[in-house]
Chain A
Amino acid sequence: MSALFDAIATGAHTALSPTNLIYCFGGVTLGTLIGILPGLGPIATISMLLPVTFYLPPETALITLAGIYYGAQYGGSTTAVLVNMPGESSSVVTCLDGYAMARQGKAGPALSIAAIASFFAGCVATLVIASFAPVLANFALEFGPAEYFALMLLGLVAAVVLASGSLVNAFAMIFLGLLFGTVGTDLNTGVERFTFGIPKLVDGVDFVTMSMGIFAISEIVVNLESVQERTILKEKIGRLLPSAEDFKRSIWPIVRGTGLGSMLGILPGGGAVLSSFASYAVEKRIAKEPGRFGKGAIEGVAGPEAANNAGAQTSFIPLLTLGIPSNPVMALMIGAMMIQGITPGPQIMTAKPDLFWGVIVSMWAGNLMLVILNLPMIGIWIQLLKVPYRLLYPTILLLCVIGVYSVNNATFDLVILSVFGVMGYVFVKIGCEPAPLLLGFILGPLLEEYFRRALIMSHGDLSVFVRNPISGTIIAMAAVLLLIVVLPSIRKKREEAFQE
């Protein structure tokens, strides 16, 4: 234990130096801003800033870039709550209940609870990294393709729970998401699927582009149709801070979300996005009145917000302890280290303790800055609702276009954005919810990848999925969950619950 304190002291020495504190502050502020702006995500921002870090010492560079990443998780919820547009892919879930709360005049409490949940999760996750990073990294290594497949399957079944409307619609949207996920080059054979000979589709459809189109663009179009809703939002802003009742409802979802996020964040691929979806599904499943979800349940904001922030933070574990990136942002971090002449790998912790512990301690400092930065800002963000839509919407549209373009520097992505914008509008009109579609889109390709890889390794033996204790257990859980959802008697009860 004293070794841990020594290590944290080493880290504090690095992280709390004036220069690093200033860069950390700069990082989290920039992160918050790009989180708020729809479309412009941490990937685009970090890649634009990568050349600048060339001129900074390695610790400072990583502290800044890390700050941008978890800062974006804080900011992403703001636009999700206020205008139903996810600023970040991991805040897609926050739209569901956060926006519903905002329409009831409870945008203030929704934003506050999101910031508080993120802060709590950030602190716990930092502690988790500091004390268990090496152990957890080895745990993640135990996960082979069969285990990942089982986990993704469970996630996909849970996606049905996400929908608050018709079950048939939810299934349809998941399958549509799976279909979109197949666009691109097949990993195992190199054959192109559904690319129609368009070179830009060879790498598949980009998640940012898709979610921007379906959420942001369609939201603008839908709102332009109805004049009434605009006035409702203008009048009611309500209180800023959550009530005692809100806190009581949120405590356990925050704790559970933090736990889920910390676990899922370590695993490559899923990370923050999956953990926020998972947290929402869990909260809805164990809630006494699941019918409140999707209609402004504060638990549906608190849990996922805690989960995505915890997940964002623990996704640093494989990077810092094994030198292996668990998501594209971490791959950029590796690039940042290599620019500095540092080879990421298991030796980082012992060879560069200043860097390792410095980054960890800076995460805690950064989280503190973020909550201080965000809570007083809520009053200002709420004023955004007063901005006339004729100014707000063109601005958002412009930002979406810039954000989407900046991912690949490709104009073709804007065409895709428009296509999904139209699609999102149609979905709203026919009463289909987009969240299950996005989850299907994220999980589908992973599901296929791990399924086929497990079979290659087992030489075609299907029993590998159930023989293995971890994957066997998860698949059993998925099967039980599926039964609960589709059994007719229970389904009837489920629909009754929504009637309330």
Chain B
Amino acid sequence: MLKRTAVVFGALLMLTASNAVAWSQTKYPEHPIKMIVPFPPGGGADVLARMVGQKLNERWGQPVVVENKPGNAGIIGANEVGRSKPDGYTLLMAASGAVVANNIDRLAPVALVTTPPYMLAVHESLPVKTVAEFVEYLKKNPKAVNFASSGVGSASHLAAELFMGLSKTQMTHVPYKGIGQGVNDLISNKVSVMFGPPQALLPQVAAGRIKILGVTSKERYPLFAEIPPVAESVPGFEAVGWYGILAAAGTPDDIVKQLSDATNAAIQDPTVKERMNALGATPRPGTPADFRAFLKQDTAKWAELLSKVEATK
């Protein structure tokens, strides 16, 4: 009897002790985390959110629930995270377009995930082989060539606007609802040019319907080392997309740090890396401060370009 009491007492003591530890340094995360994807399911951000979410779950033992809140090019979902409680339990898997001048102050950058390049693709019948030849062709045929985009102000539109501005050429803009529709008309030569993500364009290259003239990253991209950057012929050209995790502004620094470390570890996991490669992306680990600097530069660049485009209209 005495023995049993001792055991119970001991167990109680241990419980109190572990409780004391928990109280002293409020453990994060202690309940499930919600990760909002501000786009419909199945897209790049959605796939990345689920891959990273699974790794965070394995690390912390807390489920990461991915919730799609699409609308207004990602701004609706991003604003919702901006309004959430800054406790690190509501995260945003954002992509270019979702974070804009209006909501950037309400969000705390956590970790950049990847900055995949776009590709400059033309229909295979267009008589050019390089970016230099393409620029020359456009100068001989001003406004005669059509380019597809996934909508006004989308990355595929802005990349083309930047290209035209820097190379002093003119093309006609044909906006579509999404990349898929644009690729559809590109391979049937209804439009001849498109800046688009590699995973949408490369399969059509293999089928011999289109050709890739360059990547939009400043330098050669490791995954596509054989493709020259557009910037080689059009100096100063750089138009990469980005995916990254943000939380509400005001989230405690130690939680942001934990999230950032965990995300960096997740994206460098071999299986995650392999799947990211299939999406045409390589991981881009870094600190929250790196991400903040990147965002600041990126939003400023596109805001400036957009105001230029609108001024010429």
Contact = CB atoms under 8 A, between A and B. Distances in A.
Nearest to A202: B72
Contacts of A457: 146, 172, 174, 190-191
B203 A335 contact: no
A453 B175 CA distance: 8
Given A187-B152, A331-B180, A410-B69, A346 B207 contact: yes
B66 interface: yes
Interface string B182-216: 01110110110000000110111011010000000
Given A144-B190, A322-B184, A335 B207 contact: no
B151 A187 contact: yes
Nearest to B190: A144
Interface string B93-125: 000000000000000000000000000000000
Interface residues of B, number: 51
Contacts of A189: 152
Given A331-B42, A343-B278, A325 B180 contact: yes
B199 A343 contact: yes
A190 B153 contact: yes
A199 B204 contact: no
B38 to A, nearest CB: 11
B46 interface: yes
Interface residues of A, number: 48
A18 interface: no
Nearest to A195: B72
A456 B146 contact: yes
B177 A324 contact: no
A197 interface: no
A334 interface: yes
Interface in A452-477: 453, 456-457, 459
Pick from A200, A336, A345, A410 the residue with the most CB of B within 10 Å.
Answer: A345
Contacts of B151: 187, 190
A188 B68 contact: no
Interface in A18-67: 46-47, 50-51, 54
B43 interface: yes
Contact of A203 (B42, B71, B274): B71
A50 B75 contact: no
B184 A336 contact: no
A408 B71 contact: yes
B33 to A, nearest CB: 15
A347 B206 contact: yes
B204 A335 contact: no
A341 B275 contact: yes
Contacts of A333: 42
B29 interface: no
B61 interface: no
Task: Report, nearest first, the 8 A-B pairs whose CB atoms are least far apart.
Answer: A335-B42, A345-B203, A190-B152, A47-B41, A346-B207, A141-B188, A202-B72, A341-B278
Given A335-B42, A338-B42, A456-B174, A408 B187 contact: no
Given A190-B151, A335-B41, 14 more contacts: A47-B41, A51-B66, A200-B76, A324-B181, A325-B180, A328-B40, A338-B47, A338-B279, A342-B278, A343-B199, A345-B202, A347-B203, A449-B177, A456-B172
A109 interface: no
Contacts of A334: 42, 180
A62 to B, nearest CB: 13
Nearest to B67: A409
B204 A188 contact: no
Contacts of A343: 199, 202-203, 278
Contacts of A141: 184, 187-188
Interface of A: 46-47, 50-51, 54, 141-142, 144-145, 185, 187-190, 199-200, 202-203, 268, 318, 322-325, 328, 331-336, 338-339, 341-347, 408-410, 449, 453, 456-457, 459
Contacts of A347: 203, 206-207
Nearest to A336: B42
A325 B176 CA distance: 14
A199 B174 contact: no
Contacts of B187: 141, 322
A57 to B, nearest CB: 15
A449 B279 CA distance: 29
A58 B187 CA distance: 26
A324 B275 contact: no
B286 interface: no
A64 B289 CA distance: 43
A2 B67 CA distance: 47
B45 to A, nearest CB: 11
A178 B181 CA distance: 22
A23 to B, nearest CB: 19
A436 B279 CA distance: 42
A345 B180 contact: no
A449 B177 CA distance: 9
Interface in B140-184: 146, 151-153, 172-178, 180-181, 183-184
B71 A335 contact: no
Interface in B259-313: 274-275, 278-279
B95 to A, nearest CB: 14
Contacts of A47: 40-42, 68
A332 B180 CA distance: 12
B69 A332 contact: no
Contacts of B202: 343, 345
Nearest to A454: B190
A81 to B, nearest CB: 31
Contacts of B183: 324
A446 to B, nearest CB: 10
B218 interface: no
Contacts of B42: 47, 50, 331-336, 338
A440 to B, nearest CB: 19
A338 B206 contact: no
Interface in B67-94: 67-72, 75-76, 79
B220 interface: no
Given A51-B66, A322-B184, A324-B180, A345 B50 contact: no
Nearest to B49: A51
A346 B204 CA distance: 7
7 contacts: A144-B185, A338-B44, A343-B278, A345-B203, A346-B203, A409-B69, A410-B69
B184 A268 contact: yes
A331 B71 contact: no
A338 B199 contact: yes
